[in-house]
Amino acid sequence: MGKVQVKVAEVDRQFEAVLIANRGEIALRIQRACQELGLKTVTICSEADRDASYGKSSDVFLCIGPSSAGKSYLNQDAILLAARLSGAGAIHPGYGFLSENAAFAEAVKKAGLVFIGPDARSIATMGDKISAKSAMMAAGVPCVPGPDTALPDDRDAVEKTASEIGYPVIIKAAGGGGGRGMRVVTEADSLHEAIALTREEARQAFGSPALYMEKFLQRPRHIEIQVLCDTHGNAVWLGHRDCSMQRRHQKVVEEAPAPGIPPEPIRQVGEACVEACRQIGYHGVGTFEFLYEDGAFYFIEMNTRLQVEHPVTEMTTGLDIVQAQIKVAQGRALDIGQSEIKSDGHSFECRINAEDPATFMPSAGVITALELPNGPGIRVDTHVQTGYKVSPYYDSLIAKLIVHAATRTEAMAKMRDALADIRLDGISTNIPFLRALFEDHEFARGETDIHYLEKWLKQRSAS
Ligand code: ADP
């Protein structure tokens, strides 16, 4: 594979103030990274978040619209106006909301501002799972068996594709995300109905009816590779994470490194990801997601943004991924090479959600008491405190509990202690469920697959 070094056109990438177009723990996380780099911060909020603690520590805190995300955190014009009025030179989109919206990245650039993320073209290519798969196949990254083309309307052609792949297959929306827009088909009889249902769902939820089909892997693990690329053609991968603990295709617990994976195959995949980034002229941070089964890796998608689980990689590599992301957005060359990237010890992250620990229904209300664990190797990323009102408008994530220790066993023990030390009253959270999960022997052994958590939950509710 030849090295094609794509140099991004020179633009004025200097900025002194960053507008943070997000909320909650990630708004605070980005704010701290900016402050440590000597940058001023402009944080926006909706009416529901007017009292957010991070408003006080931001240089400018602007309410840009009503509580509904569509009118605030997703309101591109209001965000661009806020940037203009406050004099911010760059916009950090965080994760979720507008972070993977190519049109927004383009609008930011057109407004003469720096988008802290890849360019619109990379976001668009990777945001469409079919074009992402094509790009990855072309770059030599291993993909899940199945064509890198949209499913045609022709019923015979679709049946042929399914039988060539072999059942079970999974029908996926090209524009899908957040674990939605997917349907598993185990036999030919239900193929057309599954396609029709998924197409309708895709049309309504993602605005595009395009679907594709691939092999449904029965007991894979979800392994992902974090990459960091500058605008000068330099790219590195920062090790790997295991995010197999999922409920409804949504991650619950993440860890780094992924246990039990031999170094050579993961090195090859890491190098292939980095090569793919160079080939497509990718810059910024990104994550290549893979399914891993029987010793083989299969690409499923790329996230062109900072991820919720980035702290486990920060804990094991000692790097500040958000600062690195901001520096490459400023046009600075990476100051670290692949040979200097180390993975030290083991890290876990638990997503603490305001939800019922048994039914997982969201729980809104006021936090009446909060005590957080602390000590060596314990990190809590959160924006909440006693008296904080959890609003029903947004994602239920209220905190991330992250631990780091020398070994996986020690990191699990540390997480058990940390979970035991949290006190959070007033609303329901998934903490009791996380405590029980960290007592589980199979999980402690490691290498559980993506279906393990759902099976474990079923067994628990049956007993
Ligand atoms: P999203 O963009 O909605 O997160 P992904 O393509 O990343 O969708 O898939 C989310 C999860 O769905 C994966 O982590 C895995 O658990 C499951 N999944 C996706 N594709 C397959 C597949 N081909 N076989 C088995 N499980 C899959």
Distance 35 CA to ligand 1 centre (A): 36
What count of Cα atoms within 13 Å lies in the side-chain half-sphere of residue 43? 27
**So what CATH class is 221-462?**
alpha beta
Our measurement of the distance from residue 86's CA atom to the centroid of its chain's CA atoms, rounded to an integer in Å, reads 29
The answer to whether 423 is a known catalytic residue is no
Q: Whose CA is nearest to atom 20 of ligand 1?
A: 300
* Ligand 1 pocket residue status of 87, Cβ below 6 Å: no
Residue 442, classed as helix, strand or coil, is: helix
Encoded amino acid at 11, one letter: V
Tell me, which fold does domain 17-124 have in CATH?
Rossmann fold (3.40.50)
Q: Whose CA is nearest to atom 15 of ligand 1?
A: 249
Active-site residue, from 23, 183, 305, 379: 305
| Nearest alpha-carbon partner for 279 in 126, 456, 103 | 126
With b for 16 or more beta-carbon neighbours within 10 A and e for fewer, the 369-402 pattern comes to: ebebbeeebbbbbbbbeeebebeebbbbbbbbbb
With b for 16 or more beta-carbon neighbours within 10 A and e for fewer, the 198-223 pattern comes to: bbebbeeebebbbbbbbbbbeebbbb
Tell me, which fold does domain 145-215 have in CATH?
Dna Ligase; domain 1 (3.30.1490)
pLDDT at 463: 78
In whole angstroms, what is the distance from residue 192 CA to residue 198 CA? 10
In terms of DSSP H, where are the helices of 223-366?
263-280, 310-317, 321-329
User: Which residues are paired to 46 by β-bridges?
Assistant: 65
Contact 300, 144 (CB under 8 A): yes
* Ligand 1 pocket residue status of 355, Cβ below 6 Å: no
* Ligand 1 pocket residue status of 217, Cβ below 6 Å: yes
pLDDT at 397: 98
In the chain, the N- to C-terminal Cα span, in Å, equals: 54
In whole angstroms, what is the distance from residue 378 CA to residue 402 CA? 6
Q: Scanning the structure block, which residue is given the tokens 């400018």? A: 60
Contact 89, 14 (CB under 8 A): yes
Our measurement of the distance from residue 22's CA atom to the centroid of its chain's CA atoms, rounded to an integer in Å, reads 14
* Ligand 1 pocket residue status of 178, Cβ below 6 Å: yes
pLDDT at 8: 47
Sorted by where each begins, the domain ranges of the chain are: 17-124, 145-215, 221-462
Residue 14, classed as helix, strand or coil, is: coil
Q: What is the pLDDT along the chain (463 residues), one digit of tens a residue?
A: 344 444 444 556 889 999 999 999 999 999 999 999 999 999 999 999 999 999 999 999 999 999 999 999 999 999 999 999 999 999 999 999 999 999 999 999 999 999 999 999 999 999 999 999 999 999 889 999 999 999 999 999 999 999 999 999 999 999 998 888 999 999 999 999 999 999 999 999 998 999 999 999 999 999 999 999 999 999 999 999 999 999 999 999 999 999 999 999 999 999 999 999 999 999 999 999 999 999 999 999 999 999 999 999 999 999 999 999 999 999 999 999 999 999 999 999 999 999 999 999 999 999 999 999 999 999 999 999 999 999 999 999 999 999 999 999 999 999 999 999 999 999 999 999 999 999 999 999 999 999 999 999 999 988 7
Distance 73 CA to ligand 1 centre (A): 26
* Ligand 1 pocket residue status of 143, Cβ below 6 Å: no
Q: Considering the entire predicted model, what is its pTM?
A: 0.94
Residue 309 makes CB contacts below 8 A (sequence gap 6+) with 241, 243, 251, 254, 349
In whole angstroms, what is the distance from residue 391 CA to residue 395 CA? 9
pLDDT at 51: 96
Residue 407's CB is within 10 A of a number of other CB atoms, namely 10
Distance 179 CA to ligand 1 centre (A): 7
In whole angstroms, what is the distance from residue 48 CA to residue 40 CA? 24
User: Which residues are paired to 292 by β-bridges?
Assistant: 221, 297
* Ligand 1 pocket residue status of 246, Cβ below 6 Å: yes
Q: Whose CA is nearest to atom 11 of ligand 1?
A: 249
Contact 216, 169 (CB under 8 A): yes
Contact 354, 363 (CB under 8 A): yes
Q: To test ligand 1's pocket by mutation, which of 300, 307, 453 has the most ligand atoms within 8 angstroms of CB? A: 300
pLDDT at 12: 66
